[in-house]
Structure 1
Amino acid sequence: MAQLKKKLKDTLFMLAESAEGGPGVKLYIEMLGRIHKRLNVQRRHFTIWEEALLEAVKTYDDEFDDKVLAAWLDVIDNVIERMFAALDEARMIAS
């Protein structure tokens, strides 16, 4: 459980860094894309993960509203798209 909590904390930090345009985030997201590809994680799995994460935010964030939801969706969807785009680019270069 401790390892899962750390992974969640790292993921939330990465999402925040992505939203702020932190240095090195693009490379980190690309690396995550490669890891998830190797594990055969598909887009539909991210949809399930996103729904669970947003349900947790809704439950524990007293300031949760439509604006907060929209911000989370924007950041999460952007990261997921970047992960898959990096994989698609790598595939195109390799072929």
Structure 2
Amino acid sequence: MWGPSIVGYGSYTYISPANARTTGIWPKTGFSPRKAQLSLYGLKDLPQGASLLPQLGKYTEGAGCVYVKKLEDIDLAVLRELIAIAASRQDDQPR
């Protein structure tokens, strides 16, 4: 668990692209089942994920996550690929 509501897998040390002195630990990928929608983390941060994201289906984006209202709205095979890309992340890749 990452905080009270995020289920995260793996971890990496990130360096903020806005300020190279800002670093932290964050899950490579994760999700949070919220009332209005499912929040998915780590799917769009790497170039490979960002280029595959349009094939996911019906979603919206936040600053660091992807929001899905229903799993039926997305292509689960694409979601699996996005998760695999996120899980392969190495330390010190910008987020």
Q: TM-score normalized by structure 1?
A: 0.29
Specify the structure having the higher radius of gyration (Cα). 1
Higher-helix-fraction structure: 1
